[in-house]
Amino acid sequence: MHIAIAADHNGIEFKSDLTAWLQAEGHTVDDHGGHDASPVDYPPLCQAVARRILDGTADRGIFIGGTGSGEHIAFNKMAGIRAGLGQDPLTTEISRAHNDANVLVLGAKVVSLERARDLVALWLATPFKGGRHQRRLDQIAALERGETLPVSDTS
């Protein structure tokens, strides 16, 4: 799999470790910054990762911030990006299985490096279930286009 990766100053150590681990697992990894512990704004880094996914040069993206909260918001402002916040196995798995997340956002202040590796492995291995979940993704895409959705009781 081709993975675009980036981190702010809080996630540099995690990014370095995850990049080496992903490459050892046979993935192609493109590093889009940051590159040292100097404070850096994360929105441009999020955009760089998102562009690789949207233009088809990356299959998925990973971002490591402090908590991941701001990055999660930034990614989900970009049409076609579905970012999941990976803090535990359940939310990480659901982000792929139900939401077809194409970006995983991790918080270096929230999870350990070992847990981050486990979450990335789970996220990469989890397929999208489709079915009723695809209908919901179609509705999210309609929201991105500015459409008004009818309220329904459909499960």
Burial class (CB in 10 A: 0-12, 13-18, 19+), 62: buried
Mean pLDDT for the stretch of residues 88-114: 98
pLDDT in tens, 114-128: 999 999 999 999 999
CA distance 81 to 61: 10
**54: which residues sit within 8 A by CB, 6+ positions away?**
78, 80, 81
- Please indicate whether residue 32 is annotated as part of the active site: no
Residue 155: per-residue pLDDT: 59
Q: DSSP class of residue 59?
A: S
Name the one residue in this structure whose structure tokens are 């309609």.
Answer: 142
* Domain residue ranges of the chain, discontinuous segments joined by +: 2-130
Give CATH superfamily name and number for 2-130. Answer: Sugar-phosphate isomerase, RpiB/LacA/LacB (3.40.1400.10)
Q: DSSP class of residue 78?
A: S
Catalytic annotation, pick one of 2, 32, 98, 133? 98
Residue 34: per-residue pLDDT: 95
Mean pLDDT for the stretch of residues 37-55: 97
- The predicted model scores a pTM of 0.95
To the nearest whole number, what is the mean pLDDT of the chain? 96
